[in-house]
Amino acid sequence: MGEIINLQKVREEKFGNIECDFYKDTNSDEYFMTINQLAQVLEYSSKDGVEKILKRNPYLRGDNYSTTYNLSVLEGNRQVTRERIVFTEQGVYDVALLSGKPKGREFRLFVGNILKELRRTGVVRLNKSGLARIDFMRNVLDSMEETIEKQREMQIEQQRQKQKLKDIDNKVDDITSKKVPEDYLNAAKIAAELGLTSSNDRLHAALVGKIAKYIGIRTEETAPYEDEYIKIVFGDTQIGQMIYYSPKAIETIRNWWNLNKEKLKYETYYQRNAKYGSKGDLKERGYKIGKSRYATYKSIDANKSA
């Protein structure tokens, strides 16, 4: 951005029990959300949780992700103006992903759907406190526009369904025919970059896949599929599909791994008798993510038993 922004609240929508305000910059058509509400929906006790993410990921301070703005908000019964950190659409997506919070993926989808509708219809929807700050006739016109749009969609529903089927066929042809970009990597190559091998000395692709799923990059979608983080294409006769990660996804996985790998380590030892003590030879070590364990070393001494 790098330019002066002028924010106007254009939408209020509930995510669960939390009221989310969407602001539009009239100078650039970019949409913003405040750090305070982002912390609430991600279930942090305060905005400090999001500020810690900013500290760990300095790139989020860039203009494409966030800025500060003197925002007028309602506190109690009075309107006050305070300087707040506000995030762009991309900033909201990245913070929700990097938080690792269970609701992060659900919230990204929620924001995407709201902004998609705003860009398509331009309809402003505010609660009573917001209505006091806009012209009544503008609200009436917006409601009429929404009604007309719904009527139009009902009239062409049959044509839309036919087009949808055609678009799906075209998407299959498009994704499967495209060459996977050279800077996209599969899980095994990312494991090689991170130096992760399994207990049989093979690249630990399963561990990388678990990390991607844990932080919200992996999806339940199947081939063909593509978004900003992954590309899923059909494999050969032995492999049903192949998953490739974009440079953005690779950077996110690498940053998360470097930050968390030490606290994820575990070790299991043989139980020995009094002669050898309670810790004998190492049986297994690796990393534990959630309830899953991923071994990176196992004892191969057949003469010893657990």
> What pLDDT is attached to residue 179?
75
Supply 86's token pair.
């506000």
pTM of the model: 0.41
The whole-number pLDDT of residue 280 equals 60
Contacts (Cβ under 8 Å, ≥6 apart) of 151: none
pLDDT of residue 2: 53
pLDDT at residue 273 in the model: 54
Q: Which residues of 198-233 are buried (b: 16+ CB within 10 A; e: fewer)?
A: bbeeebbbbbbbbbbebbbbbeeeebbbbeebbbbb
Return averaged pLDDT per consecutive 10 residues of the chain, 306 residues in all: 77 89 88 92 92 93 90 73 90 93 90 89 55 45 69 73 68 62 90 86 87 88 88 76 92 94 86 55 84 80 37
Looking at residue 90, its pLDDT comes to 93
Taking alpha carbons only, the member of 286, 215, 223 closest to residue 252 is 215
pLDDT value at residue 175: 54
